[in-house]
């Protein structure tokens, strides 16, 4: 079996190429010991070749889990070949990684992707000259348009020798590297001498720990580095960075012809509008309004109505009831299957069309390149409120599921920023919470298209407000970390990428409904149909009502101090989809139209929206809580996060309902006091004096020096 690694910068088109080369012959998991996704697959045209899709990275200096995983794999596994996917429209930055891959002396092929966009930019690249200067094959391709892929596959199948030409830098630097390499002879393989010499010159702590050199060698190497730093009058890591970019500049001068240096590309012209200081936010709000309007109000609702009213409202229950009667199944078991399982799980699956439509819209936005612009726009806003722009990426991931969103915080180096982001990530409405949004917006706010997107922006407001408050406390005080990101060129979304994205997200939702929700519905049905003496009784006398009634008074200020709604809040801790299913079962599993009527009769619209706000912001599901505990590594931090989330949810939901009572004109001094108390707490949190930060160990800014040297 021949193993080939696909490497490259983020947004270089590497994953698009991998998906095309492997098709359905791929498997997805996590790299051992980390949450970084691992993709592997067999080449469609040659099953003897296994492709490893390495995480998108910018260098082999391990400041992120992705970089650590990639470097460890390359050094330990040493694949037969590396295909370096280079974004031809950003060749200067991409070649920085190429040089480091060359230093590993693993056979390397450069796939110059997005070559079709070069002419539009007024740029030409002489691939023959580039291949000569680098000493490796260079092939122009377009992964998106499937151009020249066969030529690349042919090059991948060839047996290739170890690269002989290695980039040579300043002679003074080369002399120091040669002296360090001498100290490593007999310790590392001959082909790896230069790579390890450079890493030691950079003072890479992980490489130093891995080699375990004796004291004499360490002292000699330290002296060589100090001498070089005096000669160059710079730090050793910056010396290497400058040397690489000097080499890249020479390559660019000889291989790249720019005819349109001062002309704006189509992407640049679009960005002048969508990232404009004044237009960016209104455009973002408009885009999200369209996304939720299509998902909740129009296309998604049409599909959900059919599933709720026809499939799970008539066909499946009627067929199952006749089948169970013909089998003479006991009445209580019929109730469990029809009312509990089919009614409960069906109430959740009924929202599948809306969720599919939501992910279809998000998939299009991500594939065309707009999501990167959203992160850029929100970074500009976040930094005004002492939040790191890096926090927005986990928040964006959380719109699919809070668990990977929490795990995505590992890319945030600053410990305080990371812990705070973990605490705030689940404020964003995930696919599970979309079922609650769809229920409330579709039942109480029909025809009001702002109700659903308002829930999305409520999560963002909660994040920003919390950032202002928490950054003033001693636990999180300190300056946020800078955010370096890439804005890829706009392009038309690829249909197969979007279909795969929607399929995987929808499949996960259905699997959850068939496992966690299924098991939950059995328990909820039992609690709603039996009393504490295990006698079958109506819902009004059940254990579920008894348990919900215990906490119901706590939620009276929120407008839904009712055992049914409180029970839904509690079961929502297992999975947020349970909120809808529990209400369905607690109201006797009526048809969808009747269920809507019962909800409207039981709660006012603003009480229902307070219910939505509370479930949106309160402690997440058990799976997300488990992920929080794993990332914090500390139970006290986990409880601190859960406590803050629940308190904020209670405060916001109370204000939503109590302010609506005041607006109605039918209020008492009790309502006035609650509103004043809530507003006072928020004003105090936003305007209290900032605490001094506690001493923290010095953190390393991710590639700060690399980017500053560019």
pLDDT computed for residue 701 by the predictor: 37
Reference 510, options 502, 539, 67, 586; nearest CA is 502
> For the purposes of burial, counting CB atoms within 10 Å of the CB of 542, is it exposed (0-12), middle (13-18) or buried (19 or more)?
buried
Confidence of residue 4 (pLDDT cuts 50, 70, 90): very high
Range with the largest mean pLDDT of 347-351, 420-424, 469-473, 534-538: 420-424
**What six digits make up the tokens of 320?**
């199952």
Q: Cα–Cα–Cα angle for 273, 277, 283, nearest 5°? A: 50
Range with the largest mean pLDDT of 347-356, 501-510, 573-582: 573-582
Q: Is the pLDDT of residue 551 over 70?
A: yes
pLDDT computed for residue 700 by the predictor: 34
pLDDT computed for residue 262 by the predictor: 47
- Can you give the residue ranges of every domain in the chain? 2-157, 171-258, 281-687
Residues forming the annotated binding site for GTP? 8-15, 33-37, 53-56, 113-116
C-alpha distances in Å from residue 314, one per residue of 305, 309, 310, 343, 378 = 12, 7, 5, 11, 46
Reference 350, options 522, 508, 581, 570; nearest CA is 581
Residues forming the annotated binding site? 8-15, 19, 22-23, 33-37, 53-56, 113-116
Confidence of residue 5 (pLDDT cuts 50, 70, 90): very high
Confidence of residue 630 (pLDDT cuts 50, 70, 90): confident
CB neighbours of 311 closer than 8 A, spacing ≥ 6? 346
Domain 2-157 has CATH 3.40.50.300: yes
Widest CA span in the chain = 92
Confidence of residue 699 (pLDDT cuts 50, 70, 90): very low
The span from the CA of 164 to the CA of 119, in Å, is 32
pLDDT computed for residue 63 by the predictor: 65
pLDDT computed for residue 695 by the predictor: 44
Q: Is the pLDDT of residue 690 over 70?
A: no
> For the purposes of burial, counting CB atoms within 10 Å of the CB of 151, is it exposed (0-12), middle (13-18) or buried (19 or more)?
middle
Reference 90, options 125, 56, 62; nearest CA is 125
Percent of the chain that is helix, strand, coil (3-state, to 5): 65, 10, 25
Question: Could you read off the pLDDT of 9-61 as tens digits, one per residue?
Answer: 887 888 889 988 988 666 665 555 554 667 888 888 888 899 999 988 888 87
The span from the CA of 226 to the CA of 205, in Å, is 16
The torsion defined by the Cα of 412, 415, 416 and 418, in degrees rounded to 10, comes to 30
pLDDT computed for residue 710 by the predictor: 38
Report the mean per-residue pLDDT for the chain. 84
Residue % of the chain over a pLDDT of 90 = 27
Confidence of residue 585 (pLDDT cuts 50, 70, 90): confident
Question: Could you read off the pLDDT of 195-215 as tens digits, one per residue?
Answer: 999 999 998 888 888 888 889
User: Quick one: average pLDDT of 357-377?
Assistant: 82
pLDDT computed for residue 432 by the predictor: 83
pLDDT computed for residue 32 by the predictor: 56
Residues forming the annotated binding site for Mg(2+)? 19, 22-23
User: Quick one: average pLDDT of 311-326?
Assistant: 88
pLDDT computed for residue 559 by the predictor: 92
pLDDT computed for residue 38 by the predictor: 75
Residue % of the chain over a pLDDT of 70 = 90
Q: Is the pLDDT of residue 531 over 80?
A: yes
User: Quick one: average pLDDT of 265-281?
Assistant: 84
Candidate from 67-81, 113-127, 304-318, 566-580 with smallest mean pLDDT = 113-127
Q: Is the pLDDT of residue 514 over 80?
A: no
Confidence of residue 479 (pLDDT cuts 50, 70, 90): low
| CATH architecture for the domain at 171-258 | Orthogonal Bundle (1.10)
Query: Is residue 580 a contact partner of residue 437, using CB atoms and an 8 Å limit?
Result: no
Question: Could you read off the pLDDT of 494-504 as tens digits, one per residue?
Answer: 888 888 888 88
pLDDT computed for residue 601 by the predictor: 92
């Amino acid at each position: 079996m021949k193993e080939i690694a696909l490497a490259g910068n983020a947004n270089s088109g590497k994953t698009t190429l991998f998906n095309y080369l492997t098709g359905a012959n791929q498997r997805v998991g996590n790299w051992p010991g980390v949450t970084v996704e691992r993709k592997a697959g067999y080449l469609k045209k040659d099953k003897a070749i296994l492709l490893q899709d390495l995480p998108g990275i910018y260098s082999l200096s391990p400041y992120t889990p992705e970089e650590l995983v990639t470097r460890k794999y390359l050094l330990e596994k040493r694949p037969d070949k590396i295909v370096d996917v280079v974004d031809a429209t950003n060749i200067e930055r991409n070649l920085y990684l190429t040089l480091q891959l060359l230093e590993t002396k693993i056979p390397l092929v450069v796939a110059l992707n997005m070559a079709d966009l070069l002419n539009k930019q007024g740029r030409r690249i002489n691939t023959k000259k580039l291949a000569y200067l680098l000493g490796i094959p260079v092939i122009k391709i377009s992964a998106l348009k499937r151009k020249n892929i066969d030529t690349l596959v042919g090059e991948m199948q060839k047996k290739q020798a170890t690269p002989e030409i290695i980039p040579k830098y300043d002679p003074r630097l080369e002399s120091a590297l040669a002296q360090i390499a001498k100290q490593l002879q007999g310790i590392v393989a001959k082909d790896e001498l230069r790579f390890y010499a450079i890493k030691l010159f950079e003072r890479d702590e992980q490489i130093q720990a891995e080699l375990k050199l004796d004291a004499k060698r360490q002292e000699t190497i330290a002296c060589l580095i100090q001498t070089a730093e005096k000669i160059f009058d710079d730090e050793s890591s910056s010396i290497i960075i400058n040397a690489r970019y000097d080499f890249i500049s020479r390559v660019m001068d000889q291989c790249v012809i720019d005819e349109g240096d001062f002309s704006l590309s189509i992407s640049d012209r679009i960005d002048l509008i969508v990232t404009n200081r004044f237009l960016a936010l209104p455009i973002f709000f408009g885009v999200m309004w369209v996304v939720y309007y299509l998902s909740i109000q129009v296309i998604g609702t049409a599909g959900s109505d059919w599933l709720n009213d026809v499939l799970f409202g008539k066909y499946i229950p009627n067929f199952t009831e006749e089948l169970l009667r013909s089998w003479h199944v006991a009445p209580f078991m019929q109730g469990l299957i029809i009312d509990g399982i089919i009614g409960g799980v069906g109430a959740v699956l009924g929202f599948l069309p809306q969720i599919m439509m939501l992910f279809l819209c998000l998939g299009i936005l991500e594939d065309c390149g707009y999501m990167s612009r959203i992160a850029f726009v929100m970074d500009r806003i976040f930094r005004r409120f002492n939040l790191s722009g890096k926090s927005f990426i986990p928040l964006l991931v959380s719109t699919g599921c809070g668990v990977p969103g929490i795990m995505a915080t590992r890319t945030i180096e600053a410990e305080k920023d990371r812990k705070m982001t973990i605490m705030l990530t689940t404020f964003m409405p995930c696919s599970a919470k979309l079922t609650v949004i769809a229920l409330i917006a579709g039942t109480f706010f029909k025809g009001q298209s702002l109700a659903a997107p308002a829930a999305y922006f409520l999560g963002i407001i909660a994040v920003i407000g919390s950032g202002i408050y928490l950054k003033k406390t001693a636990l999180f005080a300190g300056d946020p970390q800078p955010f370096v990101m890439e804005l890829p060129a706009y392009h038309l979304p690829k249909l197969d990428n979007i279909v795969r994205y929607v399929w995987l997200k929808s499949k996960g939702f259905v699997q959850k409904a068939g496992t966690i929700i299924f098991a939950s519905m059995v328990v909820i049905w039992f609690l709603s149909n039996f009393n504490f003496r295990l006698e079958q009784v109506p819902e009004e006398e059940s254990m579920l009502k008894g348990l919900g009634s215990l906490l119901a008074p706590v939620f009276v200020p929120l407008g839904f101090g009712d055992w049914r709604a409180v029970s839904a809040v509690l079961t929502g801790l297992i999975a947020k989809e349970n909120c809808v299913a529990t209400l369905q079962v607690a109201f006797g599993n009526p048809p969808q139209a009747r269920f809507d009527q019962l909800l409207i009769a039981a709660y006012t619209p603003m009480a229902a929206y307070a219910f939505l706000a509370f479930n949106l912001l309160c402690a997440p599901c058990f799976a997300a809580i488990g992920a929080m505990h794993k990332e914090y590594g500390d139970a006290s931090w986990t409880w601190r996060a859960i406590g803050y989330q629940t308190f904020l949810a209670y405060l916001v939901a109370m204000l939503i309902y109590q302010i609506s009572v005041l607006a109605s004109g039918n209020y008492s001094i009790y309502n006035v006091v609650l509103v004043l108390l809530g507003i006072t707490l928020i004003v105090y949190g936003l305007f209290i004096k900032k605490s001094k930060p506690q001493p923290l160990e010095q953190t390393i800014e991710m590639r700060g020096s690399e980017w500053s040297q560019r």
